[in-house]
């Protein structure tokens, strides 16, 4: 608590804090970077380090091993938190209701986990009396912005350390440092890719992917089957939504965490959920990322279809503007900005009436909506039908068209 009580600005970071921090909470994945960091912080800052690892649904997290490794590397405490339900309830649900896609493509899987992790880290740091949080993000990426903007909003007295921005270590130097300090080098540290994974999706960058003209090699994919290997028969699924949240799969009630796991498997098997994207990062550069998000793509598609079915034409033209702004703010690390809460108030309001069922056909890399039904749907068969029983009075259209087209007619003929 020492440094915080002195009331210094959180902008005064890193080298200024040498020997001034008694403790640091490190967001720890168990990988090479954060393991090197665990030792490096003890070394450089003379601080005790506790680690903090969040289970956000990454497969094979081996969190007990991560904890053991942290303690072996000298961590004072190694906290492990299962945040899968919180992630689903507080972040993924909103993202579904917001049809959350950045630049119309990326379901924000990495992006929405960062404010969640920051929130839990700040709580732990405060309850343990730890004055600083360290993260393993680079100085070029989005995640540094998301972590630090979130932490500052939640507790401006919290110090933030970003060792990768400071330590100026190449890959080789890092490996040498690990060897010198007897830090075990993870088996996957030879992989050319940088991977981030959680329940909502998997992000892969680096290696050959840094050439945007190259097709991603097969070894990039783990969740999505190559279309060449998908089943020859389509599979139909039915999703039921209540207030914009999926609650049933094929007629059976299911919690969101389990639903996402199930859809990841089923849609992935049919080759659905692969995104190859060049995106605009917060820091201004473009980067190429491969995403595997089978469950997100199916759920977002089904939700959007039902939302359009239950909303008026005017709502349908306005909501995408709100959704797009929401996705941009969240991508850009500003999840705790009041604007996001304002947008969410609107998003929640629209979703109050989004109940119903959506049927999808999963086949050869595509999820296609093939049916929808809802007690709140605005589709009226008697208005739409061309059969005898139609209640739509076609003779009214004549006068309607005269008035509807009036400004266009006048404008077009203004200066003939």
Q: Would you please indicate which residues are annotated as catalytic (active-site) residues? A: 33, 114, 143, 194
Among 10, 126, 181, 194, binds ligand ARG (CB under 6 A): 194
Among 72, 90, 205, 238, binds ligand ARG (CB under 6 A): 205
Taking Cα atoms as reference points, which of 243, 235, 244, 314 lies closest to residue 267?
235
Which string of DSSP letters, residue by residue, matches 32-94? HHHHHHHHHHHHHH--EEEEEEEESS-TT--HHHHHHHHHHTT-S-EEEEE-HHHIIIIIIHH
Applying CB under 6 A, the span of 160-168, 190-198, 232-240, 392-400 interacting with ligand ARG comes to 190-198
Q: Does 332 bind ligand ARG (CB under 6 A)?
A: no
Q: Does 111 bind ligand ARG (CB under 6 A)?
A: yes
Among 142, 198, 230, 332, binds ligand ARG (CB under 6 A): 142
**Where on the phi/psi map is residue 9: left (φ > 0), alpha (ψ -120 to 50), or beta?**
beta
CA 330 centroid distance within chain: 9
What separation in angstroms does the CA of 305 have from each of 128, 141, 274, 325?
Answer: 46, 33, 20, 20
Binding mask 63-102 for ligand ARG (x = CB under 6 A): ----------------------------------------
Sign of torsion over alpha carbons 295, 297, 298, 300: positive
CA 408 centroid distance within chain: 44
Q: On the CB side of 404, how many CA atoms lie within 13 Å of its CA?
A: 6
CB nearer to ligand ARG: pick between 244 and 333: 333
Among 195, 227, 249, 369, binds ligand ARG (CB under 6 A): 195
Applying CB under 6 A, the span of 50-58, 195-203, 239-247, 309-317 interacting with ligand ARG comes to 195-203
Inter-residue contact 117 to 54 (CB < 8 Å):
yes
CB nearer to ligand ARG: pick between 310 and 327: 327
CB nearer to ligand ARG: pick between 44 and 137: 137
Which residues touch 258 (CB under 8 Å, ≥6 apart)? none
Report DSSP state, residue 10. T
The nearest distance, CB 30 to ligand ARG, in angstroms, is 15
Q: Does 204 bind ligand ARG (CB under 6 A)?
A: yes
The nearest distance, CB 41 to ligand ARG, in angstroms, is 21
Instruction: Outline where DSSP puts E strands in 84-234.
Output: 132-134, 159-161, 194-198, 201-205
Q: How far apart are CA 182 and CA 204, in angstroms?
A: 28
The nearest distance, CB 167 to ligand ARG, in angstroms, is 19
CB nearer to ligand ARG: pick between 150 and 230: 150
Applying CB under 6 A, the span of 159-167, 202-210, 296-304, 357-365 interacting with ligand ARG comes to 202-210
Question: Per CB under 6 A, which of residues 147..176 are in contact with ligand ARG?
Answer: none
Which residues touch 114 (CB under 8 Å, ≥6 apart)? 143, 146, 147, 150, 333, 335
Question: Per CB under 6 A, which of residues 284..323 are in contact with ligand ARG?
Answer: 289
Reduced to 3 states (helix: H, G, I; strand: E, B; else coil), residue 355 is coil
Applying CB under 6 A, the span of 91-99, 196-204, 310-318, 333-341 interacting with ligand ARG comes to 196-204
Applying CB under 6 A, the span of 80-88, 201-209, 370-378, 396-404 interacting with ligand ARG comes to 201-209
The pair of structure tokens assigned to 99 is: 């049809």
The nearest distance, CB 184 to ligand ARG, in angstroms, is 21
CB nearer to ligand ARG: pick between 57 and 131: 57
Q: Does 110 bind ligand ARG (CB under 6 A)?
A: yes
The pair of structure tokens assigned to 160 is: 């933030």
Q: How far apart are CA 413 and CA 416, in angstroms?
A: 6
CB nearer to ligand ARG: pick between 196 and 307: 196
What separation in angstroms does the CA of 81 have from each of 28, 70, 93, 255?
Answer: 11, 14, 20, 19
Count of positions on this chain that bind ligand ARG (CB under 6 A): 10
The nearest distance, CB 98 to ligand ARG, in angstroms, is 16
Q: Does 33 bind ligand ARG (CB under 6 A)?
A: no
Applying CB under 6 A, the span of 18-26, 32-40, 198-206, 315-323 interacting with ligand ARG comes to 198-206
User: Which positions lie near ligand ARG, rule CB under 6 A?
Assistant: 110-111, 142, 194-196, 203-205, 289
């Amino acid at each position: 608590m020492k440094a915080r009580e002195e009331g210094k600005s959180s902008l005064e970071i890193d080298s200024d804090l040498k020997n001034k921090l008694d403790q640091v909470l490190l967001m720890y994945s168990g990988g090479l970077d954060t393991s090197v960091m665990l030792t490096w912080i003890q070394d450089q800052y003379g601080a005790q380090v506790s680690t903090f690892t969040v289970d956000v649904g990454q497969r094979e997290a081996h969190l007990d091993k991560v904890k053991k490794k942290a303690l072996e590397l000298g961590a004072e405490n190694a906290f492990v938190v299962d945040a899968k339900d919180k992630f689903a309830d507080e972040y993924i649900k909103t993202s579904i209701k917001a049809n959350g896609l950045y630049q119309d493509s990326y379901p924000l899987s990495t992006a929405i986990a960062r404010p969640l992790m920051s929130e839990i880290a700040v709580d732990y740091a405060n309850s343990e009396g730890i004055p600083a949080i360290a993260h393993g993000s680079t100085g070029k990426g989005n995640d540094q912005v998301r972590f630090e903007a979130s932490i500052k909003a939640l507790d401006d007295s919290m110090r933030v350390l970003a060792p990768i921005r400071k330590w100026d270590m190449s890959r080789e130097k890092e490996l040498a440092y690990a060897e010198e300090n007897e830090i075990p080098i993870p088996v996957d540290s030879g992989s050319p890719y940088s991977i981030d994974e959680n329940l909502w999706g998997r992000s892969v960058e680096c290696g050959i992917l840094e050439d945007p003209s190259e097709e991603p090699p097969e070894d990039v994919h783990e969740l999505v089957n190559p279309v060449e290997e998908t089943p020859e028969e389509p599979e139909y699924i039915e999703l039921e939504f209540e207030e914009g949240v999926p609650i049933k799969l094929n007629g059976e009630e299911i919690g969101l965490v389990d639903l996402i796991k199930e859809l990841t498997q089923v849609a992935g098997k049919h080759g659905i959920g692969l995104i190859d994207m060049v995106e605009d990062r917060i820091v201004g550069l473009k980067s190429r990322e491969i995403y595997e998000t089978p469950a997100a793509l199916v759920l977002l598609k089904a939700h959007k279809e039902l939302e359009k079915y239950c909303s008026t034409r005017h709502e349908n033209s306005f909501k995408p503007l709100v959704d797009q702004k929401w996705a941009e703010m969240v991508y850009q690390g500003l999840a705790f900005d009041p604007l996001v809460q304002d947008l969410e108030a609107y998003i929640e309001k629209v979703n109050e009436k989004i109940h119903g069922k959506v049927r999808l056909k999963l086949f050869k890399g595509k999820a296609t909506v093939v049916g929808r039904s809802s007690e709140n749907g605005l589709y009226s068969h008697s208005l739409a039908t061309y059969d005898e029983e139609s209640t739509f009075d076609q003779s009214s259209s004549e006068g309607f068209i005269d008035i509807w087209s009036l400004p266009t007619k006048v404008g077009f003929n203004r200066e003939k």
